Structure 1
Amino acid sequence: MNPTRNLAAVALLALLATSAAEDKKAGNPVFPGWYADPEGIIFGNEYWVYPTFSAPYDQQLHFDAFSSTDLVKWKKHESIVDTKDIKWAKRAMWAPSIIEKDKKFYLFFSANDIQNNEQLGGIGVAVANKPGGPYKDHIGKPLVDKFHHGAQPIDGFVFRDDDGSHYLVYGGWRHCNVARLADDFKSLVPFEDGETFKSITPEGYVEGPFVFKRDGKYYFMWSEGGWTGPDYRVAYAVSDSLLGPHKRIGLVLQQDADVATGAGHHSVIHNKKDDNWYIVYHRRPLGETDGNHRVTCIDKMEFDEKGMIKPVKITFDGVTADPLK
C-alpha cells in the first residue's frame, strides 16, 4: 500500500465531488408552489427569499420564507407571519421586503389592497429576532396608509444607504415615492425641505421598485406592464442620487416564449465574496392562464464594461451552486 498515493486519490475524489456540487444547477423554479414578488437577501452565510404566497386576495393571508446555503437546496419556513399577528390586515398580504438592523429583522409588507384613503390598509412592518420568524406587528397599524402623489401604498422596498440611513421606496398605480424611515422604523422622517413623500416616478413605471448601489451609482429598477399578463417585465435607470432624476435606460427582464411569460416583480442578490449578482423574480409557466399561477426563479445578472445591466436570459436551468462559506 502506498499512503501517498491513497492520500492523493482521496484528495482527487474530494476535488471532483466539490466541483460536481458547484456545477449543479438550481433549476427554475427554485422551489415548488405558487409564489411571487420574491425579495432575495443574504443574512450571514445564508441566502433567503421572502415571496408572496400567490393566491386569490382573500386566501393570501400569510408569508412563507425559504433559505439556502448555496442557491440550490432550499429549506421552507412556513407561515412566518400571518393575519393573526397583524390585526389590521384582513386580506391580500403581499410584496414583502426585509432588512436587518441592530440584530432584529424587519419585514415590510403590503396588505388589504386599499383603493382610497378611507379604507384601512397599506404598508406595514413586522419584526422578529431571527430571519425565519416568528414575526409580530411592529407598529400595530400601517406605516403608510394614504395615497401620496397618486401612489397606492403597496410594494415597499427598504433601502439602506452608505451612511446608514434607511428609505422606503414604494408605490403602485404607476407612481413611485421615496420616504425616509425613522431610526426605529415606526414612522417616517421629513426630508430637509419638510416634504415627507417625494415622487421619483420614472417613465414606464408601474410597480415593484428595487434599488441597489454599485460603484457609487444608484440602480433603480421597477416592473412594467400588467402583473396578470405576458408583458410583465423589469426596466431600470442609473442615477447619482436616490432622488433621481431616474431616466429609463431599458429592459433587464422580460418573457421568453420558449420558457415562460410575465417575468417581473424582482429583487437582486449580491454575493460580495465572489462579486456574483443574481436576479430573483417570478414568472408564469407556459400554458398557465390563472393570474395567481406564478413561480419564483433565479438567474444570473451581469454588467457590461460601462456598468449597464445586461439583459437577463430567463432559463430552466437556473444558477450554479454558489456557497457563501
Structure 2
Amino acid sequence: MKRTALLCFFLLATGAAGAQQKTSGNPVFPGWYADPEGIIFDRQYWIFPTYSAPYGKQVFFDAFSSPDLVHWTKHARILDTSAVKWAKRAMWAPSVIKKDKKYYLFFGANDIQHDSIPGGIGVAVADRPQGPYRDLLGKPLVDKFHNGAQPIDQFVFRDADGQHYLIYGGWRHCNIARLKPDFTGFEPFPDGSVFREITPDQYVEGPFMFRRGGKYYFMWSEGGWTGPNYAVAYAIADSPMGPFRRIGRVLQQDPSIANGAGHHSVMHDEKRDLWYIVYHRRPNTEKDANSRETCIERMYFDEDGHIRPVVITREGVPASTLR
C-alpha cells in the first residue's frame, strides 16, 4: 500500500496526471512564436512558426508535432542560417508542403527594404518534416519587389489539378505565381506575366488559401502587427486568381484574453471534416511586440459557406487523434 501511495504521489508531482488533459490549451506550446503554419503530415499535426524575437536573433526555425493537438513535441533548429548562406536575419513565416516524398520549406529572410538588399523568399528541402532542411537553390527564389509586394509571408497552395502556387507579399500588396514542378522557379501565366497581383481591400500581409466546396477561400492579416487592430479577414472566389472581394473579419483580439490576434493558417481533418485556425496573439500582460504565442481554435462555416467569426479562448481545442 505504501508503494502504491508513493507511486500515485510521484505521478501527480511529475505531472503524469496531465496525460488526461482534454484540450490543447492556449498557447499550445511554450515560448514566443508567431506566424504559425499548421499542416497535417502522415497522421500528425505540425506547426511551423517564426521564432518571435528581435530580427537579429531570428536566425533559425523550430517545428512542433502532435498526434492529438494536445501533446506537442519540439523539433529544434530544423533550418538555420548556417544552412542558408544568403540569409542573415529575420527568418520569417515558414510554409511547408510535401511533394514526391520530399518536404519543401519556403521562408522569408533579411526583411529586404528595396531590390539592392540581398534576401527575399527562399526554399529548403528535407526528407522528413522535422528536417534537417538544406537550401535548395543557394539563392532566394524571389529577391525583388514585384507589384509593390515585399517578398515575405510566403504560402504555397496546391490546387486540385496539382498545380502549386506561391502566394506572398507584405507592404499591402499580394502576388500569386505558378511554381515549376521542382520548385526552382516559376512558369509564366498564359499572358506572359509571372507575378500577378491579387491584393484585396485592406490586405496587409500573411496570405493563406484553401479550397472548399469548389470555392477558393483567400485569407489575410490586416492592421498593424504590433497593434490591437491586427486581425484576419477573408474573401471567396471561383479561381485562385480571384477576383477577391473582402467579406469581413473572422479573427481578432478579445481584450479580456489577448490582443494582436492574426497571421494565421488553417488545418483540415478531412475524414471528420474538422477545421482549425492556428494563429498568434499577444498576452495582455506583455508589452514587448515580440511576445507572441501560438494558439489554435475550431473554425466553422455557416449554411452559405461563409466563415463564422472565431472566438479566441484560453482552452483551445479538444484532443483529436487523426484516423
Q: Give 2:116's aligned amino acid.
A: E
Q: Give 1:305's aligned amino acid.
A: E
Partner residue, 2:213: 215
In 1: Cα distance, 2:109 partner to 2:238 partner: 32
Q: Describe how 1:1-325 pairs up with structure 2 within 5 A.
A: 24-325=22-323
1:230 CA displacement: 1.5
CA deviation vs aligned residue, 1:191-211 (integer Å, no higher than 9, x gap): 011000000000000000000
Q: Give 2:71's aligned amino acid.
A: K
3-state secondary structure, aligned to 2:265? strand
Contact 1:211 1:220 in 2 (8 A): yes
Q: Give 2:264's aligned amino acid.
A: H
Contact 1:22 1:322 in 2 (8 A): no
Q: Percent identity?
A: 68
Q: Give 1:226's aligned amino acid.
A: G
In 2: Cα distance, 1:294 partner to 1:210 partner: 19
3-state secondary structure, aligned to 1:293? coil
In 1: Cα distance, 2:135 partner to 2:66 partner: 26
In 2: Cα distance, 1:227 partner to 1:118 partner: 26
In 2: Cα distance, 1:96 partner to 1:228 partner: 20
| Distance verdict in 2 for CA 1:147–1:24, change over 3 Å | same
1:21 CA displacement: 7.8
1:287 CA displacement: 2.3
Contact 1:23 1:320 in 2 (8 A): no
Contact 2:147 2:197 in 1 (8 A): yes
In 1: Cα distance, 2:316 partner to 2:191 partner: 46
1:42 CA displacement: 0.2
1:279 CA displacement: 0.2
Unaligned runs of 5+ in 1: 1-19
Which portions of structure 1, spanning 4 or more consecutive aligned residues, are displaced by more than 3 angstroms? 20-23
Q: Give 2:70's aligned amino acid.
A: V
Q: Give 1:32's aligned amino acid.
A: P
Q: Give 1:290's aligned amino acid.
A: D
In 2: Cα distance, 1:255 partner to 1:45 partner: 31
1:34 CA displacement: 0.2
Q: Give 1:225's aligned amino acid.
A: G
Contact 2:21 2:70 in 1 (8 A): no
In 2: Cα distance, 1:203 partner to 1:22 partner: 45
1:22 CA displacement: 8.8
1:289 CA displacement: 1.3
Q: Give 1:202's aligned amino acid.
A: P
Q: Give 2:313's aligned amino acid.
A: T
1:291 CA displacement: 0.8
Q: Give 1:146's aligned amino acid.
A: K
Contact 1:22 1:321 in 2 (8 A): no
In 2: Cα distance, 1:23 partner to 1:319 partner: 11
Unaligned runs of 5+ in 2: 1-17
CA deviation vs aligned residue, 1:232-255 (integer Å, no higher than 9, x gap): 100000000111110000001000
Which TM-score applies when normalising by structure 1? Answer: 0.93
Q: Give 1:215's aligned amino acid.
A: G
| Distance verdict in 2 for CA 1:57–1:40, change over 3 Å | same
Which TM-score applies when normalising by structure 2? Answer: 0.94
Contact 1:30 1:296 in 2 (8 A): yes
3-state secondary structure, aligned to 1:152? coil
In 2: Cα distance, 1:231 partner to 1:304 partner: 25
In 1: Cα distance, 2:186 partner to 2:20 partner: 44
Aligned length: 306
3-state secondary structure, aligned to 2:247? strand
